[in-house]
Amino acid sequence: MATKKLDAIVLRRNPNLAWAIAGRVHVPTTIDAACFDLIITSDGAMAVTNVIEAPRLIAEEFPEEISVKIIKWTEGRDSYLPAGQKVGSDQSGADRLDLGTEIELIRESLIAEDVERYKQMCVDSAEALGNAMKESLSSDREIDIAGRITQSLWRADLEIAYLGVAGEDRVQKYRHALPTMTVVGNRVSASICAKRKGLIATITRIVTFGETSDSLVNEYASIFKVEAAMLDATIVGRPFSEPLNAAIAAYPLNGFDADEWSKHHQGGPTGFLPRDWTANPTTSRIILANQPIGWNPTGKGWKAEDTILATQSGVEILTIDQQWPAFEVNGRTRPFLLKK
């Protein structure tokens, strides 16, 4: 605000509002619009919301420093928001200065308090997913496993931003397999984006049933070698293109087709969205200190996915479940197959 000589900034986008208040900003999870807007000035911050949402937000979500303007539920919020060239916003409109990218960049580098709560919710997310997956049976339908995961997440005070479950047949066909009534058979893969107070953790875990051949184990290990190349190239101050190009080089070196990377995105920055955007081989955006990232290389029905934090001292893996089987890849402890 000082640099751009602004009187106010208006936040309207869900991820930015969740970041600003460290809380929940949605009612239906399917709607992009939050249930309030936030006006930030040099004197403080004021939320604009209606009579329906105000009591809950004040009691359960808003920090006490935020004042609240309560309007009728029949009114829109737009007329209560400052407008013009002396006002910035994370969303275009009303002749405000569009600062969407600048605000996103500030949000993507977590402050110390957010890092601490993020670390805890990432562990809780990994453990909740792991506990549910350990109960899986080869006779389960994908929706049965999805139900257990959902219950396990909610019991850990975690909401669901995304849930994918695929058995042995569908995991080979679809990269984003929403759960169906299909029986899983000898293998099941589950991916989640778990959410608490706006922060999101992304994780994939895989269970196999019966004998697992050496060739399948080697394939599984190979996708983590691709991930290892990405993690090694995730360096604060370097462009996001470098981990992507590391993955492109690593796929054929580890038994995958050279164009495997082109069949599914490889991930990108996360934190307050499942992905803020997906990185590509020409991305010039720089990896920031204390920036959460979710890489997710995939191939031959396998996927490596955990939430990491890029720091000045290297990559820190956050979604850790000490009770899940593990193996070492390039000096890092990574989740192994859970064999049943």
Q: Write out pLDDT tens, residues 110-138.
A: 999 999 999 999 999 999 999 999 999 99
- Tell me if 270 sits within 8 A of 313, measured CB to CB: no
Quote the CA–CA distance of 35 and 42 in Å, as a whole number: 23
Residue 2 lies in a domain: no
**What is the pLDDT averaged over residues 161-168?**
97
Residue 1 lies in a domain: no
In 7-40, which positions are buried (b, 16+ CB within 10 angstroms) versus exposed (e)? ebbbbbbbbbbbbbbbbbbbeeeeeeebbbbbbb
Q: Are residues 226 and 78 in the same domain?
A: no
Q: Are 23 and 152 contained in the same domain?
A: no
Mean pLDDT score, 233-239 = 98
Residue where a domain stops, chosen among 108, 128, 143 = 108
245 in a structural domain: yes
- The rounded distance, in Å, linking the Cα atoms of 77 and 322 is 47
Integer Rg of the chain from CA: 21
Choice between 79 and 31, residue whose per-residue pLDDT is larger:
79
Q: How many domains does the chain have?
A: 2
Within a domain: 3:
no
- For residue 88, name the pLDDT band (cuts at 50, 70, 90): very high
**β-bridge mates for residue 207, sequence order:** 188, 338
Confidence of residue 30 (pLDDT cuts 50, 70, 90): confident
**CATH label of the domain that carries residue 273:** 3.90.230.10
In a domain, 231, yes or no: yes
What is the Cα–Cα distance from 170 to 190, expressed in whole angstroms? 12
pLDDT in tens, 189-224: 999 999 999 999 999 999 999 999 999 999 999 999
Quote the domain boundaries for residue 117: 112-339
Backbone angles phi, psi at 246, to 5 degrees: -65, -40
Instruction: Answer yes or no: do 56 and 156 share one domain.
Output: no
Cα 67–chain centre separation: 30
Same domain, 116 and 104: no
Q: What is the pLDDT of residue 78?
A: 96
- Per-residue confidence band for 90, with pLDDT thresholds at 50, 70 and 90: very high
Residue partners of 43: CB distance under 8 A and separation at least 6:
none
CB 221 within 8 A of CB 300: no
222 domain-assigned:
yes
Q: How far apart are CA 205 and CA 339, in angstroms?
A: 12
Arithmetic mean of pLDDT, 260-283: 97
pLDDT at residue 320 in the model: 97
d(CA 224, CA 203): 14
Q: Does one domain contain both 293 and 204? A: yes
pLDDT digits (tens, 9 = 90+) for 141-152: 999 999 999 999
> Does residue 143 sit in the same domain as residue 169?
yes
Tell me how far apart the alpha carbons of residues 22 and 198 are, in angstroms, rounded to a whole number.
7
pLDDT over threshold 90, residue 32: no
Q: Are residues 116 and 94 in the same domain?
A: no
The full DSSP string for 137-199 is -TT-BHHHHHHHHHHHHHHTT-EEEEEEEEETTGGGT-SS----S-B-TTEEEEEEEEEETTE
Q: Are residues 49 and 191 in the same domain?
A: no
Name the residue with tokens 């209560």: 80
Same domain, 245 and 258: yes
Domain for residue 157, yes or no?
Answer: yes
Q: Give yes or no: residues 91 and 206 share one domain.
A: no
Of residues 78 and 33, the one with the higher pLDDT is 78
Does 164 lie in the same domain as 85? no
Q: What is the mean pLDDT of residues 164-173?
A: 96
Q: Which of 108, 130, 151 is the last residue of a domain?
A: 108
Cα 89 to Cα 6, 12, 82, 145, 205, distances in angstroms: 10, 8, 10, 42, 39
With beta carbons less than 8 A apart as the criterion, state whether 265 and 289 touch.
no
Last residue in a domain, options 61, 93, 108: 108
- Residue 85 maps to a domain: yes
> Which domain CATH number covers 22?
3.40.350
Considering the domain architecture, whether residues 137 and 265 belong to the same structural domain is answered as yes
